[in-house]
Amino acid sequence: MPRMRAIQAAVQILQREGVTHAFGVPGAAINPLYAALRENGTISHVLARHVEGASHMAEGYTRAAAGNIGVCIGTSGPAGTDMITGLYSASGDSIPILCITGQAPTARMHKEDFQAVDIAAIAAPVTKMATTVLEPAQVPRAFQQAFHLMRSGRPGPVLIDLPFDVQMAEIEFDVDAYEPLPVYKPQATRAQIEKALDLLATAERPLVVAGGGIINADAADLLVEFAELVDVPVVPTLMGWGAIPDDHRLQAGMAGLQTSQRYGNENLLASDLVLGIGNRWANRHTGGLETYTRGRTFVHVDVEPTQIGRVFPPDLGIVSDAGAALRLFVEVARERRAAGQLPDRGDWVEECARRKRTLLRRTHFDDVPIKPQRVYEEMNKAFGRDTRYVSTIGLSQIAGGQFLHVYRPRHWINAGQAGPLGWTVPAALGVCVADPDATVVALSGDYDLQFLIEELAVGAQFNLPYIQVLVNNSYLGLIRQAQRAFDMDFAVQLAFDNVNSPELGGYGVDHVKVAEGLGCKALRVHEPDRIGPALEEAKKLLVEHRVPVVVEVILERVTNISMGTELDEVVEFEELASTGEHAPTAIAALGLASAQLLD
């Protein structure tokens, strides 16, 4: 039996489990792992500038790379605590990433040794497993179990903490005898699918709500096939966006309080049955449950048993992997269509399509300073169907969800549940590693960019080119909008007179100089008719220099973006593109009330 250090066995297992890339920051307590990676030579490594950034790079990688799992690495102590945000973000969105941390030697862990912290206990609430391996011979099984758990059931992250002496100890291990553990995914039965389709058949105005579980299961094609067979409109959630192309005749818009379209909300409110697949009824999607559920029958399909009934009790719950369920949905729907047992949905489909054509928000503004809506209009013109968008939180992301268009699964990369500021830049870099030939476009407000702006240097060092669209209003815009409820505008202004850049006119940080100082290219736009040319120039710079290109758009300081507290109480602030009416008047005609805004 071959003998080797436990950490060498761990790297061989990473290779056998399909790992090809890792993101991290070396340190004394994790140097044995780095030595093993260097010796093995099959796993490339991207050096982050902040360990939290490494965890978000691993997230972006997994979210873009179907089947592969992102790995982030850090040393002992604060490296692990820095990665907790990434673990939380991955856990909330059902994203498998593997976090590996170094640890003080086992004999000194309880002696308040330098950078010794019980990271497994800290990480436990935001992982599927968090363990400190105390016996060298258990290292291979810890990694084997980690991959099994990350892929089984509801996907999610795992943390493995390795004391220095455990990494260095010799064990007997034969990688040729190693096999990944079988992945467990619950599967719907035919009887369950038959009952769900029976309920669908009795409804007059059914909808499918397509969640991120469909993306995780790589089942978007099955979703579209099923929707077409039964001729039922589809409302994707924020995490399911791209599961059906935005321009598909059955794509009925997104519903929700913030990242939604007017027609998406109206279509859901008009429905009488909702079939949710791979979704968790997140509160930004549902709003108040009384409004969301009133007058509707619900079928809920989810891979995680504890999700069924967690938010509200469905009329029919089915525990199943989304892909397994959709395969059966397609099979049974084909049989029923062949037998002439599916109802005609033409009127309902046209009703949803009519709302999609008419209930639009205005995007074309010629104002200077620039209104943010114009930015998204120009982005839609500049970027094609294969663009991978990356964003996380704030008015920039909310407006992106309202105005951008997504046509492919894994082409809207978003931290949906946690929404941590700073996530966008490192996540975009992870997407670039996962798909080096993709057009990657990240979307940030100024504060999101500033949180982990140093990671732009990673893109420059490792030639990871993407376009970073920066909408700059020098405000914590979403929080400022939420503060309307408290009649204040307090501690949310980022503007100041920059003594080194007076041409910014009080907008504070000179992001162009910072980006250039980090080895990237950067452009600044002040007029709306220059947005399009700047985006085209950014594309050329990507090809020429193979580094991130920041396109900063200077916005008006205050713009309120449509949102609300209930699906039928979304406040609209601008004229509607379809009618020219002033938005509050049009909403009153639709029976929608004004509401206080959420953060």
Q: Is 476 a catalytic residue?
A: yes
Asked whether 207 and 180 are in contact (CB, 8 A), the reply is: no
The CA-CA-CA angle for residues 256, 152, 86, to 5°, reads: 55
Side-chain-side CA neighbours of 217 within 13 Å: the count stands at 32
Q: Which amino acid is at 372?
A: P
- pLDDT score for 574: 61
Q: Which CA distances in Å does 317 have to 201, 301, 424?
A: 17, 6, 35
pTM: 0.91
Q: What span, in angstroms and rounded, lies between the C-alpha atoms of 417 and 280?
A: 11
Among candidate residues 51, 87, 126, 470, the one labeled active-site is: 51
Q: Which CA distances in Å does 524 have to 192, 511, 550, 553?
A: 56, 9, 8, 6
Among candidate residues 303, 342, 476, 509, the one labeled active-site is: 476
Domains of the chain: 3-177 (3.40.50.970), 190-358 (3.40.50.1220), 372-554 (3.40.50.970)
Among candidate residues 479, 492, 514, 598, the one labeled active-site is: 479
- pLDDT score for 559: 84
Asked whether 244 and 409 are in contact (CB, 8 A), the reply is: no
Q: What span, in angstroms and rounded, lies between the C-alpha atoms of 549 and 460?
A: 10
Q: Is 328 a catalytic residue?
A: no
Q: Which amino acid is at 86?
A: G
Asked whether 270 and 242 are in contact (CB, 8 A), the reply is: no
- pLDDT score for 344: 93
pLDDT by position in tens, the chain (length 599): 789 999 999 999 999 999 999 999 999 999 999 999 999 999 999 999 999 999 999 999 999 988 899 999 999 999 999 999 999 999 999 999 999 999 999 987 787 787 789 999 999 999 999 999 999 999 999 999 999 999 999 999 999 999 999 999 999 999 999 999 999 999 999 999 999 999 999 999 999 999 999 999 999 999 999 999 999 999 999 999 999 999 999 999 999 999 999 999 999 999 999 999 999 999 899 999 999 999 999 999 999 999 999 999 999 999 999 999 999 999 999 999 999 999 999 999 999 999 999 999 989 989 999 999 999 999 999 999 999 999 998 888 999 999 999 999 999 999 988 889 999 999 999 999 999 999 999 999 999 999 999 999 999 999 999 999 999 988 877 778 888 888 888 888 878 888 898 888 888 889 999 999 999 999 999 999 999 999 999 999 999 999 999 999 999 878 888 888 899 888 887 644 443 333 333 333 223 322 233 33
Burial of 493 (0-12, 13-18, 19+ CB in 10 A): middle
Q: Which CA distances in Å does 347 have to 75, 140, 199?
A: 60, 58, 19
Q: Kindly state the tokens that stand for 24.
A: 């991290």
Q: What is the DSSP string of 494-547?
A: --B--TT-GGGTTB---HHHHHHHTT-EEEEE-SGGGHHHHHHHHHHHHHHH-S
Q: Which CA distances in Å does 356 have to 203, 381, 385, 527?
A: 21, 19, 19, 30
Among candidate residues 139, 277, 421, 549, the one labeled active-site is: 421
Q: Is 25 a catalytic residue?
A: yes
Q: Is 553 a catalytic residue?
A: no
* Strand segments (E) across 244-391: 273-277, 297-302, 316-319, 388-391
Among candidate residues 7, 11, 25, 597, the one labeled active-site is: 25
- Cα–Cα nearest to 375, from 554, 557, 523: 554
Task: Report H helices in 181-321.
Answer: 190-202, 212-216, 220-230, 262-270, 283-286, 289-293
Asked whether 548 and 464 are in contact (CB, 8 A), the reply is: yes
- pLDDT score for 347: 95
- pLDDT score for 481: 83
